[in-house]
Structure 1
Amino acid sequence: MKYQRPKGTADILPDEAVAWNYIESTAKKLFDNYRFHEIRTPIFENFEVFSRSAGDTSDIVTKEMYDFHDKGDRHITLRPEGTAGVVRAFVENKLYGPEHIKPVKLYYTGPMFRYERPQSGRLREFHQIGVEAFGSESPNLDVEVISMGMHLLKKLGIHNLKLVINTLGDQATRKAYRSALIAYLEPHFDELSEDSKVRLHKNPLRVLDSKDKDDQKLVADAPSILDYLTPESASHFETVKNLLETLQIDYQVDASMVRGLDYYNHTIFEIMANDKALGKGDVTVCAGGRYNGLVEELGGPETPGIGFGLGVERLLLLMQAQKAPLPTISPLDVYVVGIGDETKSETLKIVETIRNNGFSTDQDYLDRKPKSQFKTADRLNAKIVITLGNDELAQKVVNLKVMATGDEQQVKLEDVYDNFPKLFGKFLKK
């Protein structure tokens, strides 16, 4: 039997993992500057965590979740997105308590799972980096989160970015707009897709997000939510726009944008890139928004929240296409060539000593001849090659070659053990 990875998954090999670590470490350093702190939640949660938060009319719940009953007949779901699990942890661990400084700022990284058609940069197992901030309704926090997302993408070398924003208003806004949207769509009921027919009276905003071409034509002339904003919602959105202008962050308003999850309200946003590596037209790289009400939905006190998420696979494709700087596996500092069985013990001791001094070091493990060992050192781009044969062992010395210059010298073993960083650190600067 030939074993293969499941459809929609990928192996991240060592050469690629270096780039992944770079993206994650860059994000973590930036988040730390904004005082966001890491949280790690389970890869699977109770089904209700996502069905209650994402909404029972969303594609994620109705079509894409990997859910099953475990041996205890508990309904379990592999997490399809990061926010709901973080909110559940926020509530369960009482991070809303007075001992926690508000807003509580958190970030996460890790795999997510959605059963959908695999495509470039979008797999069934995909990886997200996301942030969540709880405890403040301030438009300043909205703009801080948006700015942080833009800052991260630019820091990773992405250019030609476009920020698109909208508002879904407060509860009163959505109620009024819901009625207007249903009134507009009902005369076209027979023309709607089957999914949109189901959603029309449950959550008509989902129709605006339909991928069906006929639905898209119908909603092109639908009422705008911006015409139904309460004074409070309009003021919040106006402040967000003014603050973006203060920070000189260009943006466009798209009144038809609703995002794919039901928990959003007030400010929502998408950061897009136009690059053929991701497909035709503008493709979303980072997206998020405000979700006042989600904490209460999952059993907590009334607590506003806002956040964003971005997919690492899609980001990596974009970075490669735009030739953004990506690290590769670091060259080897030292390769130790041992010649003869009698040198094996001492060779291992040398290797471990140099490693303990903070330098990457390797040796032969296949009993190869000296010529093959030297070839391996060359393939690994070793900066220094140390050679130890029986004669050197008897004299308690090693031969050392600096590969960049070709300089060779004989060094006492005791100097390797006692003074290696001082003697050769200049050739091995990190």
Structure 2
Amino acid sequence: MTIQIPRGTQDILPDASPKWQWMVEKARQLCKLYRYDEIKTPMFESTDLFQRGVGETTDIVQKEMYTFKDRGDRSLTLRPEGTAPVVRSYVENKMHGWANQPVKLYYIGEMFRYERPQAGRTRQLTQFGVEAIGTEDPTLDAEVIALAMSYYKSFGLTKLKLVINSLGDIESRKAHREALIRHFEPSIHEFCTDCQNRLQKNPLRILDCKVDRDHPLMATAPSILEYLNEASAKYFTDVKQTLDQMGVTYEVDPTLVRGLDYYNHTTFEIMGADFGAITTLCGGGRYGGLVHELGGPETSGIGFALSFERLLLALNAEGVEPEIANPLHCYIVTIGEAAEGKAAELLFKLRQAGITADKDYMHRKTKGQFKQADRFGAKTVAVLGDEELEKAVINVKNMASGEQQAVAFSDLPSYIKSIVDQQEG
């Protein structure tokens, strides 16, 4: 019986790997500019972390987590998202006591969600996210949003739309919560079971329901913006003004809510080209009680997360291809058994000098080796046989100019480097 890859996962094959490396490298470069430092957390955590941090009423906790018992009968969960683990680490390592505040972090890693696979939605996904924890400052909200937009624009994507909203502070959310209950309660029996369960626990999440999104009551539901108190309204105004000053274009969407319980104040999403069922590329927002809920001080943070899988779909939709160079500087063609050992030695010395080099390992004839060098697009081809061994030289051909030169073994790295510098100069 042939064993196949689990549903909802994928192999990243060598021809696709450069794109993934491209996405990772751009993320690291951008975070360096914004002064965010990388953090790595375990792929699995205590189940309680996500139940408390993400929220009992969320789809992630109720339906999507990969949870298992270890040999010590402890309940563990493969991480479904990155914020709760980062905040857990922030609290556990007492980062709130660090001299440099706020603590600005980014992560790149795999997440796991048991969802129905479709375009842009897999059961193992790779996320890039940032978290800035330690202060409640509207200009920091704008910075995080600008970082996310800058990441997408760095690829040359143009079909982007940023939507933002405010969920307000605790007081504002309480008033809005009561208004939502009054709005939905008389007809809640017309909604799905999940929405019925959410009515008293977290009615805001009804607005995020995919099953009942076309119900007439959705369109007439009270807007959170109508219930923002003075402080929350000013905070949202300051965020928008900072984005305006940065030249970051956005739309305010009063219906935008995030599916996780820990958000307050600013929330945002970035949409991409329509490439299927999913058009949301990135989501994020500010969270207030999460740090305290996980045992830390009363402090606030803001962050976002995006998946490389959806970014790839957006790149394909707009026809964006990476400019990735992986040139082969030198290919050594060997003639005769005696040349094999010397070729391995010369390859090692070339690589030690920072020169990409390769040779035949399939015992091809000379003509076949030249064809392989051509398929690789080698910039130089060096031929080594019995005659060259006797003279301690190797014949090097510059494939661009056609020029050939016998080069001493000791001079080979510098000679190849001079040709490469000239070609790439």
- TM-score, with structure 2 as normaliser: 0.97
Matches within 5 A, 1:54-65: 54-65=54-65
Q: How far has the Cα of 1:217 moved from its partner?
A: 2.9
Residue 25 of structure 2 aligns with an amino acid whose one-letter code is S
Residue 150 of structure 2 is matched in structure 1 by 151
Residue 73 of structure 1 aligns with an amino acid whose one-letter code is D
Distance 2:325 2:365 in 1: 26
Q: How far has the Cα of 1:215 moved from its partner?
A: 6.0
Distance 2:213 2:261 in 1: 22
Answer whether contact 2:223 2:255 (CA < 8 A) is retained.
yes
Deviations 1:218-269 (A, max 9, x none): 2210111111111110110011111111112221111111111111000000
User: Do structure 1's residue 409 and structure 2's residue 405 form an aligned pair?
Assistant: yes
State the SS of the aligned residue for 1:14: coil
Distance 1:273 1:159 in 2: 9
Where do 5+ consecutive residues of structure 1 fail to align?
none
User: Do structure 1's residue 284 and structure 2's residue 280 form an aligned pair?
Assistant: yes
Distance 2:375 2:155 in 1: 29
Residue 152 of structure 1 aligns with an amino acid whose one-letter code is Y
Task: Provide the identity percentage.
Answer: 51
Residue 150 of structure 1 aligns with an amino acid whose one-letter code is M
- Mean alpha-carbon deviation: is it higher for 27-36 or for 215-224? 215-224
Distance 1:167 1:422 in 2: 57
Distance 2:166 2:215 in 1: 20
Residue 341 of structure 1 is matched in structure 2 by 337
Match of 1:361 among 357, 366, 373: 357
Deviations 1:350-380 (A, max 9, x none): 1111111101111111222111111111111
Answer whether contact 2:273 2:314 (CA < 8 A) is retained.
no
User: Do structure 1's residue 236 and structure 2's residue 224 form an aligned pair?
Assistant: no
Residue 61 of structure 1 aligns with an amino acid whose one-letter code is V
Residue 177 of structure 1 is matched in structure 2 by 176
Deviations 1:382-422 (A, max 9, x none): 111000000111111111111122221222223216x3356
Answer whether contact 1:172 1:230 (CA < 8 A) is retained.
yes
Distance 1:199 1:383 in 2: 64
Residue 16 of structure 2 is matched in structure 1 by 16
State the SS of the aligned residue for 1:165: strand
Distance 1:329 1:141 in 2: 36
Deviations 1:72-129 (A, max 9, x none): 11111000111010000111111111x3301100000011000010011210001100
Q: How far has the Cα of 1:11 moved from its partner?
A: 0.1
Q: How far has the Cα of 1:330 moved from its partner?
A: 1.2
Coordinate RMSD, CA, aligned = 1.5
Deviations 1:151-172 (A, max 9, x none): 1100012112111001110011
Q: What is the count of residue pairs matched by the alignment?
A: 425
State the SS of the aligned residue for 1:129: strand
Distance 2:156 2:100 in 1: 33
Distance 1:334 1:220 in 2: 65
Residue 394 of structure 1 is matched in structure 2 by 390
Q: How far has the Cα of 1:294 moved from its partner?
A: 0.6
User: Do structure 1's residue 47 and structure 2's residue 47 form an aligned pair?
Assistant: yes
- TM-score, with structure 1 as normaliser: 0.96
Distance 2:297 2:100 in 1: 16
Q: How far has the Cα of 1:213 moved from its partner?
A: 3.4
Answer whether contact 1:68 1:75 (CA < 8 A) is retained.
yes
User: Do structure 1's residue 166 and structure 2's residue 165 form an aligned pair?
Assistant: yes
Residue 5 of structure 2 is matched in structure 1 by 5
Answer whether contact 2:331 2:378 (CA < 8 A) is retained.
yes
